[in-house]
Amino acid sequence: MTSVLAPLPVLLPLLGAAAALLTSGHPRSQRILSIAVLTAVLAVSVTLLLIADADGATSVAVGGWPVPLGIVLVVDRLSALMLVVASTVALGVLVFAVGQGAADGQEDTPLSIFHPTFLVLVAGVSNAFLAGDLFNLYVGFEILLMASYVLLTLGGTAPRIRGGITYVIVSLTSSLVFLAAIGLVYAATGTVNMADLAVRLGELPEGTQVLLQSMLLIAFGIKAAVFPLSAWLPDSYPTAPAPVTAVFAGLLTKVGVYAIIRTQTLLFPDGALDDLLMWAALATMLVGILGAVAQTDLRRLLSFTLVSHIGYMVFGIALGTTAGLAGAVFYVAHHIAIQTTLFLVAGLVERQGGTTSVDKLGGLARRSPLLAVLFFVPAMNLAGIPPLSGFIGKLGLLHAGVAEGSSMAMALVVGGVVTSLLTLLAIARVWTRAFWRPPTQAPADDTAAAAAADAGSGGGSTPDGGPSGNGGPSPDGDGTGSPFQAAWRRHTRVATAAEPDLPPAAASTRALRPLPATMVAATAGLAAVTVALTGLAGPLYGIADRAAEDLLDRTPYISTVLGPEETP
């Protein structure tokens, strides 16, 4: 049963991507196809999770090669849980993107590359979660990164190219570090199979182990945006279209966190670098959230909270206890859903208010109460207000930290509480300014400032302005003039509409601009998932707990892959 199901989360999106590319001339069938594929992936993932939770881990030797040599896919509780959460948010984001495309009149001229690339991204994420050997993990990373390069630079506008260059080069560097680490691991042990490595790495001299461990940690740390390797993230994520930013924020960094969990527990159980990880976790939490407090752009603020909350997961990993790991696993699941939802809400805010700059927004709660609720509930969840799932995850981690009892763990507990409070502060500032204050209190902006802010916050929520205005550079160098003129006109229009001196009738025309139902429904669906995580916290935490026990025990994973006789 599992041997048939396990490759499907990778295979289905890849085949779906090919089919979506073929049907790019028929936008409707393309949309139906990609939604159907992701629904199927979600169903398969849920089945895998139920099987894995009931019967324990299973492994599939793809291609039928004997185990330490061939490619192995391993489904255990951790990877199955990650698959379920990942495919849920991917489906939600895809529906949001379909709604956005329909609302922006792209029915006839869709960006035909979006759906195939999105499916490839999902395939890469699934492959990374299922990979049973280091090199397959690398391939999974490369698949998802390659798709993410394309998605981040969709439309090829100047801000996206600028952000994309940072992102691509940083990702390439981390991939090279990872590949070099794989080469060194192979040189030292003669295998890249993770279960095999778990047996053999322990026989190496301690210095070699620490070298390999730190190289892998650097590679994954860049991908997971752990301070001090996190500076690239707030620089590149906010420029992408809203659904792309949402799926990146939810999934890509968590794949890095997953890789850290896997390698730290399975390959290097000694915890030689746990102290270093604790420092990194503390710095990630505090530096990230201080950055968030200083931001006035909603998307950049959310990007900084994303970095900050990675620190909680690293904290749980560094503790190395069952309670700590269970907290980290639960927090990853919670954070994938919550961060994706919040970025989708930011996309809706941009549509409704014309900007994501908190200083220029105002009165959203009155204009769109539904949007206000959609922001408020996940935002409070992010800050960890009881009884929501963010509170449960943080409580579990802090409890694990207190139980561990070392002074460093206590410092991290304090840091975690401070970070939680500062998150609340940052979120409350957004709430009071963008949603709560009357629109008349929003400052009157000159058009230039509005233009700068709008261009900075991603140049609109659609991949527009891209190919239209770049008919080759003309000799006097104004070949790029027309898109900026078009953008200028758009900003002027927005800024004029935001002018508080206008008569109420003019101001209310913007308030009446309806949000597309599909986009709202997708966001509401994901918000409901985050609330459901609270209701299902009991069973979910149970799975996380059992996953953590498996991780620390290591025997289930190794004996599943290599057979019972090889277990140390």
Partner 1 sequence: MTPTVVLPVIIGGLYAAGVYLLLDRSLTRVLLGFLLMGNATNLLVLSAGGPAGLAPILGYSEPEEMSDPLPQALILTAIVITFGVSAFVLAMIHRSWRLVHQEVVGTDEEDRRVAARSATDADELDPDELDPADRAAGHADSLHTPEADDLGADDVDLPAVTGAR
Nearest alpha-carbon partner for 318 in 227, 385, 437, 404:
404
Nearer to partner 1, 76 or 142 (CB): 142
Ramachandran assignment for 460, one of left (phi > 0), alpha (psi -120 to 50 degrees), beta (any other): left
Residues 464-483 that bind partner 1 (CB under 8 A): 470, 472-473, 476-480
Dihedral over alpha carbons 434, 436, 439, 443 (to 10 degrees): -50
* Residue 399 binds partner 1, judged by CB under 8 A: no
Q: Which of 159, 271, 500, 556 binds partner 1 (CB under 8 A)?
A: 159
Q: Of 242 and 524, which CB lies nearer to partner 1 in the complex structure?
A: 242
Interface residue with partner 1 among 1, 50, 294, 403 (CB under 8 A) is: 294
- Peptide bond before 387: cis, by omega within 30 degrees of 0? yes
Total binding residues for partner 1 by CB under 8 A? 63
Residue with tokens 């269970």: 326
In terms of C-beta density within 10 A (0-12 exposed, 13-18 middle, 19 or more buried), how is residue 206 classed?
exposed
DSSP at 501: T
Helix axes 253-262, 134-152, angle to 10 degrees: 170
Q: Closest CB to partner 1 among 99 and 234? A: 234
Q: Interacting stretch for partner 1, rule CB under 8 A, among 27-35, 106-114, 178-186, 514-522? A: 178-186
Q: Which of residues 207-236 bind partner 1 (CB under 8 A)?
A: 235
Provide the 3-class DSSP secondary structure of residue 478. coil
Amino acid at 377: V
Sign, CA dihedral 421-426-429-430, equals negative
Q: Which tokens belong to 296?
A: 């006035």
List 150, 486, 531, 536, residue binding partner 1 (CB under 8 A)? 150
Q: Which of 108, 206, 446, 501 binds partner 1 (CB under 8 A)?
A: 446
Nearest approach in angstroms of CB 245 to partner 1 is 12
DSSP states of 274-319 as a string? HHHHHHHHHHHHHHHHHHHHH--BHHHHHHHHHHHHHHHHHHHHHH
Segment 42 to 71, residues that bind partner 1, using CB under 8 A: 69
Interactions with partner 1, residue window 370-389 (CB under 8 A): none
Residues 521-560 that bind partner 1 (CB under 8 A): none
Q: Supply the minimum distance, in Å, between the C-beta of residue 259 and partner 1.
A: 17
Binding mask 479-518 for partner 1 (x = CB under 8 A): xx---x----------------------------------
Residues contributing to the site for partner 1 (CB under 8 A): 69, 135, 139, 142, 146, 149-150, 153, 156-159, 161-166, 168-169, 172-173, 175-176, 179-180, 182-184, 186-187, 192, 235, 238-239, 294-297, 299-300, 357, 359, 445-446, 448-449, 452-453, 455-459, 470, 472-473, 476-480, 484
